[in-house]
Amino acid sequence: RAAALPLARKAATRTFVVVKALFRKMSNSDVEETSGHLLKHHLSTWQGCGDGKGFPEEEMSNKVLNPLVKEWPNMNFKNANELVMGHIIVNDSKAGLRPPALLPGCVRANACRQIWWEPSTVKVGIVTCGGLCPGLNSIIRGVTNCLWRDYGVRDIFGMPAGYNGLSNPEKFPPIKLTPEVVAEIHMKGGSMLKAARGGFDAEKILDELHKLGVNMVFLVGGDGTHFAGNLLYEAALKRGQPISIIGIPKSIDNDVVMFDKTFGFDSAVAEASEVLRNGWVEATSCEKGVGIVKLMGRDAGFVVMCASLGSDQVDLALIPEVDVKLEDILAHVDSVIDRQGHMVIAVAEGAGQSFVATGEKDATGHTIYGDIGTFMRDQVNAHLKPKGGRSFYIDPSYIIRSSPVRAVDHIFCSRLAIDAVHAGMRGYTGVCVGPIHNIIVMLPSKLIASGKKRVNVHRSAWQQCVQACGMPPSLSGM
């Protein structure tokens, strides 16, 4: 096995050189940021690397031996230049839908033999931003345990109240984290660090981190958090303040671009599927009953789509990506009631806004959405009650986002947390970790914050949902 290692490394290096050569030949005139712009995201090359195009040579720059090598000499350590190809399908029928930003390939986020940071010099801050999401405590626990047990880092602090805790640690004192402190936090929902919005001030945050001696920060949040995280990275770059800023994206709606999925989503789908079954129980316990369940999903219908498939009792899935007509909805209600005597409708909170638009915005500039759930309830009641039918409306609201993490999601959180730590110890900064083809990789935070992922109605997942629900073409968006 030992004799095979040098050969494997040589083969990996040859592959890496070929990929880099292909990347240099690529025309990126229409792609401002790609997975291959990582030179400016490693602390060995982040200053003076031009546009940052290319991959860092970790084997040349990372001089510290990973303590895991001594502790676990037979452990499988990744080659620092291992890439996951962004596009893997030959003769792809949907080639035009694949993000060109992933074409150069994505560097794997995992343990390597050589690292950038000397663990004894590392001081860490962990922050959870935005709203609640199943798995936040699992991430905090996983990051803490990996730092403490694998790297021997002892200065680990949770910064309460999101970015507020980073910019004003006097008002929101840091919480010392140890394996004992985080041992049972994954057993309940929410965040032990009290997730919050606002409070971002890049210059003030960097000043406070410098005072505290923090040189590694883990940012847990959605696309807004990582948009701000990229600004923090750029401010640190401008200052020349060496700090590893590692993002771990979260989203119940699964609307973070590039990555396969975000943590919290599987738990949300599992909880939502149970609520849909409750809607089915109500509907089947009444003559001409219609169960209507409103689920989370302001701009993306992934929860509704997957929960509809998971419960397998839904007859109509309404998502923000598909515009529908009320008369088509009511015609489908009649058709389903005539066929089976009951019906279940799953509706995303951002669906059907043409019916209930408020025209208002909140203090942050986001559109205030009208209540499509109660609108559907009232319309279905008005339509069915003269015929002897009625609707049963369920809005689980924050029950889903405050739920404890499910086992499959906890495992995923642990993967993300551990690989986030490895990425930070290897010297990366201004990046987020997440799965591409179910392999955890690193991408520039700017890329993650570049937009929102939405359900593509021409892909097989939505087509499967349409077929499972028995929806007519007029309600499918296809």
Residue at token pair 């219609």: 290
Helix (H) or strand (E) holding 442: strand 439-444
Residue 253 known to be catalytic: yes
Coil, helix or strand at residue 470:
coil
CB 307 within 8 A of CB 346: yes
CA-CA distance, 276 to 271, in Å (whole number)?
A: 9
CB 222 within 8 A of CB 253: no
Neighbours of 347 (CB within 10 A): 27
CB 302 within 8 A of CB 254: yes
> Strand 114-115 vs strand 106-108: parallel, antiparallel, or unpaired?
unpaired
Q: How far apart are the first and last CA of the chain?
A: 53
Residues near 221 by beta carbon (within 8 Å), at least 6 away in sequence: 127, 128, 129, 130, 162, 195, 229, 247, 249, 250
Helix (H) or strand (E) holding 439: strand 439-444
From 253, 299, 409, 419, active-site residue: 253
Residues near 313 by beta carbon (within 8 Å), at least 6 away in sequence: 276, 277, 279, 280, 344
Q: Which long-range contacts (CB under 8 A, 24 or more apart) does 48-52 make?
A: none
Q: Give catalytic residue positions.
A: 253
